[in-house]
Amino acid sequence: MKQVVTEVEHLRALLDSLESRETKNSALVEIANIYGSIIEEGDASRAYVALFSSLDQIEQIANEHFIGGQKSVAENAINELRRLFGLEASRHPYNDYIGVRRTHIATVRLVFPILTDLSFDLISLQAKLPDAISEIQRFKDRISLHDDVSDQLKTVLFAQIDLMEKSLVRVQERGIGEFRHSVFTTFGRIYLELRANSEVSDKTSKEIVDDFLRIYQVFEAGGSLLQLGAPVIRGLIGAPG
């Protein structure tokens, strides 16, 4: 069963909520409050940052997913969303903003459906979640066995891996973009830390990276969430031996 990417659903809910209401807030503050209520973030400033972070994540996924004319339409939709929710909104009271931007809002709603093509298989992901968590723990256990990886480096790697695991567990609520970003960041951090540490042998580095790619394969099997990004990793190093 395919589910539209969570960040896209959040944005659709925000668009659907853009209508006149009893408030003296600026448009920027009110938009941040509305989006915060959607993503369950009580701080308006953090909600506003999260809104644009979601747009960045959607843009990355859309750039990998769409080609040709569809890609242009998706890019236009994202750019219009950025314009609609940009800092210029802070210049107007919310209800004035809704009146001035009514045509722009209608235009964004017209082009928005292209983004709903970005979807993932939630049931497959949920089915693979126990396997993925078990594989992450085995990965940490195998890192612990390497004598040439210092305790300090192990602490750094484990902290990054734990962040990735947390983003996996809450992917349905927080979105695929955060999870994808966490996976690629974790891989990059591990790869660079190993390359920068002269005490870690080439053999150990290769074994650790290969072990990570095995986790990555479990993620791919869980709803094909990361297949679009596979060249990012596999273009850097080969598949597990």
Based on the domain organization, do 210 and 155 belong to the same domain? yes
Are residues 8 and 113 part of one domain? yes
Termini Cα distance of the chain:
33
Amino acid occupying residue 63: N
% of the chain residues with pLDDT over 90: 31
- Do 19 and 45 share a domain, yes or no? yes
User: Residues 42, 43, 46, 52: what is their CA dihedral angle, to the nearest 10 degrees?
Assistant: 60
Q: What is the predicted pLDDT for the residue at 241?
A: 39
Would you say residue 240 lies in a domain?
Answer: no
Please check whether residues 101 and 152 belong to one and the same domain: no
Report the candidate in 40, 1, 4, 7 with the shortest Cα–Cα distance to residue 179.
Answer: 7
Residues 6+ apart with CB under 8 A from 29: 44, 90, 94
Provide the pLDDT confidence category of residue 237 given band limits of 50, 70 and 90: very low
pLDDT score recorded for residue 143: 92
Say what the alpha-carbon torsion angle 226, 232, 238, 241 is, to the nearest 10 degrees: -30
Same domain, 88 and 138: no
Does 97 score more than 60 pLDDT? yes
Say if CB 25 and CB 33 are below 8 A apart: yes
The 3-state secondary structure of 175-226, one letter per residue: CHHHHHHHHHHHHHHHHHHHHHCCCCCHHHHHHHHHHHHHHHHHHHHCCCCC
Q: Which candidate, 36, 34, 2, places its Cα nearest to that of 20? A: 34
Helices (H), 86-121: 94-100, 102-111
Q: What is the pLDDT of residue 89?
A: 73
User: Which pLDDT score, from 0 to 100, does residue 12 have?
Assistant: 93
- Do 99 and 138 sit in the same domain of this protein? no
Q: Which of 84, 117, 150 is the last residue of a domain?
A: 117
Token representation of residue 190: 């591990």
pLDDT of the residue at 43: 93
pLDDT score for 230: 52
Orientation of helix 202-221 relative to helix 122-144, angle to 10°: 160
The mean pLDDT value of the chain amounts to 83
Beta strand 119-121 pairing with 2-4? antiparallel
Which residues constitute the domain of residue 93? 2-117
Same domain, 107 and 192: no
Please give the residue that has the higher pLDDT: either 221 or 194.
194
- Residue with the bigger pLDDT between 101 and 183: it is 101
Return the pLDDT at 77: 92
6 lies in the same domain as 113: yes
Do 132 and 168 share a structural domain?
yes
pLDDT in tens, 111-170: 999 998 887 776 777 787 888 888 889 999 999 999 999 999 999 999 989 988 888 877
For residue range 24-37, what is the model confidence (pLDDT) as tens digits? Answer: 889 999 999 999 99
State residue 119's pLDDT score.
75
The whole-number pLDDT of residue 60 equals 81
Boundary (domain end) residue, out of 69, 98, 117: 117
Q: Is residue 222 part of a domain?
A: yes
Q: What is the value of pTM for the model shown? A: 0.72
Last residue of a domain, one of 79, 94, 117: 117
Residues with Cβ within 8 Å of 127's Cβ and at least 6 positions away in sequence, in order, are: 222
